[in-house]
Every structure is written in C-alpha cells, then in structure tokens.
Amino acid sequence: MIIIVDYGLGNIRAFANVYKRLNIPCSIVSESEGLESATKLILPGVGAFDEAMGLLNKSGMRELLDELVLERKVPVLGICIGMHMLAHSSEEGSVPGLGWLEGTVKKFDSTMLTDQTPLPHMGWNNVMIRQSSPLFNALEDSPTFYFLHSYFFTCAHREDVLAEADYGSRFACAVQAGNVYGVQFHPEKSHHNGVQLLKNFGEM
C-alpha cells in the first residue's frame, strides 16, 4: 500500500487524487499505527524546513518512519520540502534533517542569479535526466515539471544525482540512494509528466 505521510504540510489529497485516478491503492496516514502496511511512502511538503521537520518530529511517526526506511528499506519519495527533509541539514533552518540520503540543502547562490532568475525558482522548467531510473519510465525527453523553491539539495555522492535542472546554476532536482528517492519539483502539480512519474513510483 502506498502511504502518503500526512504530517501537516503538502498536497496530501492532490497525491491521493492522482493515485485514485490511476487506480493505484493508496492511503493517507497521520499516525504511527497506519504506517505498518506501507510498501511505499510518499513524503510531501510545501513550506519552510524547520516548520516541516518540527511537524514531522511532533507527529509521532518519526520513529517508525526511520525504521521503515532505514531498516526495512521501504521505498520513499520525498517531494520538494519532503526531499529537503531527506538531508542531514538545511541552510534554510537549524533543525536537523532526517539524514536518509547523504547531503545538505543550500540556498541558490545569489551571485549566479540575474534579473531573469529571481528567487524563488517558481514556474515550469526542463528536467535533464542523468541516469536512467524506473522513476522516469515513459517520460518525454527533457520533461517539464513545476518548481517552487529557493533552496536545493546537494548530494554528498555524485552517483546519487538522477536528474538536474538549470536555474542560474545547475542543481540536482531528482536524487536516489537505495530505497530513498527525492524530487525537487511537484509531480502532483505537473500535469501529465507528474502523473507518469507518480505512476512509475507506484509501480516500481
């Protein structure tokens, strides 16, 4: 069962809606009890890092999530702030991240930005796939997705970068290490490409 982790932030129901249309069973869980049946996890998020980590830590689900992901190797897909939370830390805040995927989160370097690339990075942008992955099955070349962020994930290991995008400078917009996946863009708000990616995650 795909479990969408509801810790208080993110388009929980938008994901549920996508999977409902695809006829892929999923359920929204906001308490520890509901997590046991997870065969896949989605960690959504919109907002600020500390707020997100704070809410997740207070939700009562943190301990079981750590076990599911780190020990039982349940595949997890972090989205936007959910992806940032996978890291050890973020420049956006002071609360430690989950540390499920080695890396940190940094703010876009303002010296590389121009009038044409204001912050936040907000809008549709092309994604450059660097490594093939079942996550990208049947996606068109250079697919566009919706981005909404001012911070980005930097991987400790280059081989964890699945895809990149350009905004002033090049940054990783999809990452993976083992069972842990993260995407910077919002597949739940990216029309057909987003639906395909979520379908791929569901069917992996």
Partner 1 sequence: MHNQGLVKTVKFKNPKYVGDPINAVKIFNEKEADELMVIDIDATHENQEPDYKMIENLAVECRMPLCYGGGIKTLEQAQRICGLGVEKVAISSIAVENPGIISKIAEHVGSQSVVAVLDVKKRMLGDRYDIWTHNATKNRKQCPIACAKQMEELGAGEIVINSIDCDGVMKGYDIDLAKKIRKAVHVPLTLLGGAGSLNDIRELINTFGVIGAGAGSMFVFKGVYRAVLINYPSCSEKDKLAMLVQ
Our finding on whether 17 is near partner 1 (CB under 8 A) is yes
Among 1, 22, 28, 46, binds partner 1 (CB under 8 A): 46
44 vs 182, beta carbon nearer partner 1: 44
Least distance to partner 1 from the beta carbon of 98, Å? 18
Give, as ranges, the residues between 62 and 91 that touch partner 1 (CB under 8 A): 81
- d(C-alpha 153, C-alpha 65), whole Å: 21
Q: List alpha helices for 22-90, DSSP H.
A: 49-58, 62-66, 81-85
Least distance to partner 1 from the beta carbon of 60, Å? 18
Are 125 and 96 within 8 A, CB to CB?
no
Give, as ranges, the residues between 113 and 152 that touch partner 1 (CB under 8 A): 115-120, 122-124, 146, 148-150
Least distance to partner 1 from the beta carbon of 48, Å? 4
Our finding on whether 204 is near partner 1 (CB under 8 A) is no
Q: 178's torsion region: left (phi>0), alpha (psi -120 to 50) or beta?
A: left
88 vs 189, beta carbon nearer partner 1: 189
- d(C-alpha 144, C-alpha 160), whole Å: 21
Place of tokens 């980590």: 53
